[in-house]
Amino acid sequence: MQTQTIALIDDDRNILTSISIALEKEGFKVQTYIDGESALIGLSRSPPDLAVIDIKMPKMDGEELLKRLRKKTSLPVIFLTSKDDEIDELIGLKLGADDFMKKSGGFSIKVLIERIRVQLRKKDININLEETKNIISHGKLKLDPSQLECEWDGKQLPDKLTTTEFLIVKELAKRPGIIKERAQLMDIAYREDTDIEDRTIDSHVKRIRKKFKKVDSEFTAIETRYGSGYRWNVS
């Protein structure tokens, strides 16, 4: 199996060193950057398999870095935040992060590594499963799971779906008209033993709609069924 590469972007050199050592012990290659500006250049030249990004950094913060990355790639991203409140989490999800972790309150590198593995497994599922060889089409929607590409009415989405977002759209679109409960979508997008709240799925869906509306301001294909979940509109 090819060694997977993790990019770490954080202005705290102690954090970079400790996480790098732990990841290398687990068999990963590691790229490190101390600010978003250098990371944007480095990630473009040598794309990793996943990036762990701190939100608060000099020159270019994590929010701006993720905005720019999402215009070009669906690279799995885990945000690191130093705050205990929910603001950074919500910002990260709105920008298209796949997961987040707080650095305060008992930060665990072991937990971070497990979350990294979860995101990499999701990426591998899309590449390796037999069904990913098949294009999924429904009405204006066209999904290519092998490339994580999404088209709406013949147009590529200007902001690519993240792996998590792609899995949610794929799950809804393959059974049009069938309501998918939030718990079902969480199992698909994350993993059964991962502690994720309902509002996390709601944030992902909100972000998905926003991306589709960039090519179709009248996009209404994802219907909210209050108290139940979501479904792909058959109309």
Q: If DSSP states are collapsed to H, E and C, what string results for 50-118?
A: EEEEECCCCCCCHHHHHHHHHCCCCCCEEEEECCCCCHHHHHHHHHCCCEEEECCCCCCHHHHHHHHHH
User: 23-80, pLDDT tens digit by residue?
Assistant: 999 999 999 999 999 999 999 888 899 999 998 888 898 889 988 888 878 788 998 8
Residue 117 has pLDDT above 80, yes or no: yes
Contact at 8 Å (CB) between 16 and 8? yes
Selection from 211, 213, 210, 209 nearest residue 223 by Cα: 209
What are the strands of the beta sheet with 149-152, ordered from one edge? 136-138, 141-144, 149-152, 155-156
DSSP 8-state assignment for residue 134? S
Q: State how far the Cα of 222 lies from the Cα of 226, in Å rounded to an integer.
A: 12
User: 28-37, pLDDT tens digit by residue?
Assistant: 999 999 999 9
Q: State how far the Cα of 144 lies from the Cα of 166, in Å rounded to an integer.
A: 10
- pLDDT at 193 (0 to 100): 45
Provide long-range contacts, Cβ within 8 A and 24+ apart, for 81-88.
81/54, 81/55, 81/56, 82/54, 82/55, 82/56, 88/55
User: 181-219, pLDDT tens digit by residue?
Assistant: 888 888 777 654 455 555 788 889 999 999 999 999 999
- pLDDT at 192 (0 to 100): 47
Contact at 8 Å (CB) between 36 and 65? yes
